Amino acid sequence: MKKSLLAVAAIGAFASAAQAQSSVTVYGILDVGYVGANSSVVNSNTAATATTSNYGLTTSSYPGSTLKTTQGFLGQSAEQTSRLGFKGNEDLGGGASAFFTIETGMSPNSSTVSAFNNRQAFVGIKKNGLGDFAIGTQYQPIHIAVSKTDPGAQNNMTGSVIYTGQADSGVTGNVGGNTAAYQSRTSNAITFNSETMAGIQGHAMAILNNSNSTTLNNTTAGQTQNVSTGGNVNTTGWALGADYTLGKLFATANYTALKQLTTTTNQTFGGTLASSAGTTNTGAWALWSGAQTATNVQDNTIYGAVTYDFGILKAYANYINRNASDTANTSYKQKRSAQQIGVRGYITPTVEAWASGGTGTFTPYGVNQANARFNAWQLGSNYWLSKRTNLYAIYGQYAQSNAAFVVQTTAAQVAAGTSTTGNTSVNANSYAVGVRHTF
């Protein structure tokens, strides 16, 4: 009997130890509330346009006109994108552990269940004293650095020149093509995060998704053999980052270089030779999340920031620069740079507030396009009901002048595919009040 009791006790202790070594956590965010927005887009063309959408700016077809848009709805994800995730960790012994994360976006106000929205999905290995490696769809080092240094904590309302995620809250069309300061996540990626040594932690990412094809068509005797080279579809990139912490000072510097290159060559032995450099990019930034839809684009981004915690508040300074060029025609480029300062702190033990303001320049995709200047500012506040639940209020404004864009001014230009350049100016604001719960 005593041996049986000892055996049961030993089995129970072993099970408890095994359970302690492996764990899975369910986490998420639900953010809902009222969202409002106003925008005004002025079309300064001297002729009527045959198209009304230019780099995200929906303009009137009449010259010198102003298109005003007002939005107001019970929405979601104003302060933070709603999501559901699972993450786990297993102790492998010897200071090593395995981990994984699976995360999908959520739409609390949708009446239907949407398809799985892959925000993150990766698995990795960590070694104490060295760092961790992971493979899958992951946040870029720049996005993680912004999460540590953005005074607005990456909320989805108008007013930030660094994190411009308005689409997640349902606010659309208010800043035209100037909505992508950087790309937040990348698929087909391997990452490395070092341990912190002397206050310095390093970050690295490499992206690889290449496809090269050749088809050999065997023919009957006496006929010419045909070889079709399908070409290359190569999606590659890399990123480096470093964080430095010294007491209340935090500084970060990051660089990302992404490239999507498509080439196609069709060759017939004994006959003709035809080749193509691929399809020229139509003007969007290289969006590398999921489907990685950009074509023939070199996309480079620099981000640097400094924060200092004074105790009663934390001060922020940010700078970002992004350049995208067409690898099939390097004369076509798109640029954006911005700088921002802000503060964030607690007014009372339960009331938190932040403020930020920034300026920048934006050059739409094309050849020798004119720069547009823009500025934005934002105010926000949280009232914490508990550590996991808060009420929030956010207001932000954005203004952009003389944003050049390509337009087709006559039916003949539409038919011929030719174009001229026009200008727009934009003024927009958005605001939200709501409740956010994390679990």
* pLDDT, tens digit only, all 439 positions of the chain: 444 444 434 334 434 444 445 799 999 999 999 999 998 877 665 444 444 344 344 444 455 667 788 889 999 999 999 999 999 999 999 999 999 999 998 888 876 655 567 899 999 999 999 999 999 999 999 999 999 999 999 999 999 999 887 777 877 655 545 667 888 888 899 999 999 999 999 999 999 988 776 655 555 555 545 555 556 677 889 999 999 999 999 999 999 998 887 765 544 444 444 444 444 455 445 544 444 456 778 889 999 999 999 999 999 999 999 998 887 777 778 889 999 999 999 999 999 999 999 999 988 777 777 788 999 999 999 999 999 999 999 999 999 886 555 443 444 443 444 444 455 678 889 999 999 999 9
- Per the DSSP assignment, residues forming a β-bridge with 340 are 318, 358
Q: Which residues, other chains included, contact 197 with Cβ-Cβ below 8 Å and sequence gap of 6+?
A: none
Domains of the chain in start order, with CATH, are: 33-219+238-438 (2.40.160.10)
Task: Give the span between the Cα atoms of 235 and 1, in whole angstroms.
Answer: 66
Task: Give the span between the Cα atoms of 349 and 295, in whole angstroms.
Answer: 50
Is residue 243 within 8 Å of residue 128, measured between CB atoms? no
Q: Which residues, other chains included, contact 356 with Cβ-Cβ below 8 Å and sequence gap of 6+?
A: 151, 152, 159, 160, 316, 340, 341, 342, 343, 377, 378
Task: Give the span between the Cα atoms of 150 and 303, in whole angstroms.
Answer: 12
Is residue 183 within 8 Å of residue 285, measured between CB atoms? yes
Is residue 154 within 8 Å of residue 182, measured between CB atoms? no
Secondary structure letter of residue 289 according to DSSP: S
Other C-beta atoms lying within 10 Å of the C-beta of residue 356: 24
Please give the backbone phi and psi of residue 62, each rounded to the nearest 5 degrees, phi first: -100, 140
Secondary structure letter of residue 197 according to DSSP: B
Is residue 66 within 8 Å of residue 60, measured between CB atoms? yes
Q: Is the pTM of this model over 0.75?
A: yes
Tokens matching residue 374: 């823009």
Q: Which of 147, 167, 145 is nearest to 157 (CA)?
A: 167
Task: Give the span between the Cα atoms of 22 and 405, in whole angstroms.
Answer: 55
- Per the DSSP assignment, residues forming a β-bridge with 356 are 342, 378
- Per the DSSP assignment, residues forming a β-bridge with 72 are 36
Task: Give the span between the Cα atoms of 263 and 275, in whole angstroms.
Answer: 8
